[in-house]
């Protein structure tokens, strides 16, 4: 019997015996993720989701979400872009540092969301990112990241896994909705959108206004920090 079959059996025993709570969620999902996701991506994904998996399953909605999450990771298959395969090779000798890097990224995003001026900061970062995308060298450097997002989308990551995480954990649902709201607000105010290949675009109708906004915001930049506008990747 596989690990997934075993923990599903355990889960069904809880349900059949009318027990109202199940606390093995994080252990079960951890094991299935570890079995299905190659390094260094296991550390990346688990570092992001781990704090939201400390939940007690008490409702049928949570039970269904838990089963959807297990099923998604158990069937998760993705072709890793070449650049990330190189990262995978390098991580074998520096796993701890890589894990710390994923942790720092998640910590930064959560701290950013708590700041009162998060919208203004994201606008500035978004404008910087849009400017960089006009440069040929940046389009080459950002291609592996965009390719990875496309493959995640095709795997059902955005349509299956993230909604299930929201149903399982109220904390994750709150975090995710804040990201969505921020993303939509910034994109609307700057007249931007992501195309099907995760390239940041602007509507042509306000091209002149947008160019003036970029020029106005350039002098405010204090560093060369460039990130994608927070999106639904996590």
223 within some domain:
no
Q: Which of 41-45, 170-174, 228-232 is the least confident region?
A: 228-232
Distances (CA, A) of 177 to 32, 131, 157, 173, 224: 26, 27, 16, 6, 28
Residue 29 · residue 69 · CB < 8 Å: yes
95 within some domain:
yes
* 146/140 Cα distance (integer angstroms): 10
Residue 172, judged by CB atoms within 10 A of its CB (0-12, 13-18, 19+), counts as buried
224 within some domain:
no
Q: How many helices (H) and strands (E) does the chain have?
A: 11, 2
Domain containing 94 equals: 3-218
231 sits in the region (left: phi over 0; alpha: psi -120 to 50; else beta) called beta
The reported pTM is 0.73
10 within some domain:
yes
* Model confidence at 13: pLDDT above 70: no
Which tokens is 6 given?
Answer: 């075993």
Distances (CA, A) of 188 to 119, 197, 200, 201, 210: 12, 19, 13, 12, 12
Average pLDDT (100-128) is 75
Distances (CA, A) of 9 to 6, 71, 139: 5, 14, 48
226 within some domain:
no
Residue 151 · residue 198 · CB < 8 Å: no
- Rounded to the nearest integer, the mean pLDDT of the chain is 75
Which tokens is 131 given?
Answer: 């400017």
115-164 tens-digit pLDDT: 777 888 888 888 888 888 888 888 888 888 888 899 999 999 999 999 99
Residue 137, judged by CB atoms within 10 A of its CB (0-12, 13-18, 19+), counts as exposed
Residue 32, judged by CB atoms within 10 A of its CB (0-12, 13-18, 19+), counts as buried
44-69 tens-digit pLDDT: 888 889 889 988 888 899 999 999 99
If you ran DSSP here, which 8-state letter would residue 20 be given? Answer: -
234 within some domain:
no
* Residues 6+ positions from 76 with CB-CB distance below 8 Å: 36, 37, 155
32 within some domain:
yes
231 within some domain:
no
Classified as helix, coil or strand, 57 is: strand
Total structural domains in the chain?
1
């Amino acid at each position: 019997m596989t690990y997934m079959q075993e923990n599903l059996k355990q889960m069904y025993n809880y349900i059949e015996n009318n027990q109202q709570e199940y606390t093995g969620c994080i252990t079960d999902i951890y094991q299935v993720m570890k079995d299905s996701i190659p390094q260094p991506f296991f550390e990346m994904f688990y570092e992001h989701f781990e704090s939201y998996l400390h939940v007690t399953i008490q409702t049928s909605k949570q039970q269904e979400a838990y089963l959807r999450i297990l099923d998604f990771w158990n069937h998760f298959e993705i072709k890793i872009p070449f650049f990330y395969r190189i990262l995978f090779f390098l991580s074998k000798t520096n796993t701890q540092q890589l894990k710390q890097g994923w942790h720092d990224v998640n910590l930064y995003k959560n701290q950013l969301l708590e700041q009162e001026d998060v919208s203004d900061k994201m606008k500035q970062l978004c404008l910087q990112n849009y400017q960089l995308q006009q440069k040929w060298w940046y389009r080459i450097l950002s291609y592996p990241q965009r390719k990875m997002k496309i493959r995640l989308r095709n795997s059902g990551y955005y349509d299956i896994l993230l909604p299930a995480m929201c149903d399982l954990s109220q904390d994750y649902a709150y975090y995710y909705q804040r990201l969505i709201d921020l993303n939509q607000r910034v994109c609307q105010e700057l007249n931007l959108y992501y195309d099907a290949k995760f390239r940041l675009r602007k509507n042509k109708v306000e091209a002149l206004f947008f160019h003036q906004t970029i020029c106005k915001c350039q002098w405010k930049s204090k560093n060369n920090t460039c990130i994608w506008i927070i999106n639904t990747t996590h």
